[in-house]
Amino acid sequence: MDKEQKYVRREKLGVSRFGSNQARGSGIASHPLRLTPYALILFVLSGCFFNVQLWPKVEPLQEKELTGTGKDKIVLMDLSGVISEEERGTSFMPEPNLVAQLKEELKKAEQDPEVKAVVLRIDSPGGTVTASDILYHELEVFKQKTGKKVIASIMSLGASGGYYVAVASDKIVAQPTTVTGSIGVIMLNLNVKGLMEKIGVTGTPIKSGEFKDMGSPLRPMTDEEKKLFQGIIDQMYDRFVSVVADGRKNLTKEQVRKAADGRVYTAKQALDLGLIDQIGYLEDAINVAKSEAGLGEARVVTYVRPGSYEDNIYSQIPRGGPQTFNLVNLDIRSLVQPGVPRFMYLWSP
């Protein structure tokens, strides 16, 4: 075998022209795993790296049956956490914002003729004025277009914006241990003037009008600015009262206003005031939905993303991001932004 034939044979066996020892010493062997760092660098430099999907995309909702029998369906939907238009989840596990999620679920329920009612499970301290109002509006439109019943089932907490959304339903059922109410508006704003002075930073706004920077965190609010903000708060409060009075046919505006001083109520107190229709558990809310829709039996279903797990009516789709809360520690980091006052239908003790 001549020298050239030996070389061809060695090439077929994956051995470098420079000899096996030299190839191993250089760190560039023919083994694919050893080439990975070099290939990765070339991959990145070529721009191909950024076209690779490193995390799963958000998939369309799929129906998941939970319990019950029959042809007709009752859809269990969730309104959980702080109500906001802010995106949820993380870069690796993105989720639609709460408004988009509920809109998608309502659209799916609207297009299914077997869906006769919706049970909206609420566990929320409220949120932004606009997001709460959008959800209320979407539920009202859904009922008008479809004639399908909506029953609100308030879990541990349905306060402020959470209650605002609930009054769009045909009936409200609250758990025996529910906290609800907190009808009112609050503006969240930060004043960091003292802190900034300590580190030697001052703000010098150049503005076109006296009130262009009203609500600035770099200085105290003037009395006139407080009056202007109070006027906005009062109008939003009046809308809240009107929405509750429209949804609760048994109450007048005057009766709602008496209960709407911002305080929260137990389920028993809310029932006595006419803010809810019944005290009961989630199963009771489902039975109310059957009764309101004229159903003897029905399957309870929910809408889930591929890969999520729902086993029964108390299962809940995991929620990402900072929109978690409890009665002691409410995380509203996504809602409080320095220099950006936010108007909230939110119970924020």
Which CATH number characterizes residue 242's domain? 3.90.226.10
Residue 160 a catalytic site member: yes
Whether 44 and 72 share a structural domain: no
Domain of residue 28: give its range.
3-51
pLDDT at 338: 47
| Measured CA distances, 39 to 31, 47, 180, 208 (Å) | 12, 13, 59, 57
- Sequence-distant (≥ 6) Cβ neighbours of residue 124 within 8 angstroms: 79, 80, 81, 82, 83, 157, 158, 159, 161, 162, 165
Q: Does some domain include residue 300?
A: yes
**What does the alpha-carbon distance between residue 318 and residue 308 come to, in Å, rounded to a whole number?**
8
Whether 36 and 157 share a structural domain: no
**What does the alpha-carbon distance between residue 349 and residue 329 come to, in Å, rounded to a whole number?**
9
- Sequence-distant (≥ 6) Cβ neighbours of residue 106 within 8 angstroms: 77, 118, 138, 139, 142
Q: Does some domain include residue 57?
A: no
Whether 27 and 143 share a structural domain: no
Whether 294 and 251 share a structural domain: yes
* pLDDT above 70: residue 187: yes
Residue 212 a catalytic site member: yes
DSSP 3-state of 140: helix
Average pLDDT, the chain: 80
- Side chain identity at residue 289, one-letter code: A
* Helix or strand run (H / E) with residue 304: strand 299-304
* pLDDT above 60: residue 4: no
Are the beta carbons of 291 and 170 closer than 8 angstroms? Answer: no
Whether 144 and 168 share a structural domain: yes
DSSP 3-state of 203: coil
| Measured CA distances, 158 to 34, 181, 275, 334, 339 (Å) | 58, 7, 11, 20, 29
Give the chain's domain count.
Answer: 2
Report residue 162's pLDDT band, with 50, 70 and 90 as the boundaries.
Answer: very high
* pLDDT above 90: residue 97: no
Whether 13 and 148 share a structural domain: no
Whether 216 and 289 share a structural domain: yes
pLDDT at 113: 97
Are the beta carbons of 298 and 68 closer than 8 angstroms? Answer: yes
Average of pLDDT values for 146-155?
98
Whether 178 and 212 share a structural domain: yes
**Residue pointed to by tokens 């269990």:** 76
Nearest to 194 by CA among 221, 226, 218, 222: 218
DSSP 3-state of 57: coil
Top pLDDT among 216 and 31 is at 216
CA torsion 194→196→197→203, rounded to 10°? Answer: -110
**What does the alpha-carbon distance between residue 285 and residue 290 come to, in Å, rounded to a whole number?**
9
Top pLDDT among 314 and 333 is at 314
* pLDDT above 60: residue 94: no
Given 71, 207, 212, 268, the catalytic residue = 212
* pLDDT above 60: residue 319: no
Given 80, 160, 169, 216, the catalytic residue = 160
Q: What is the pTM of this model?
A: 0.75
**Residue pointed to by tokens 């690779």:** 52
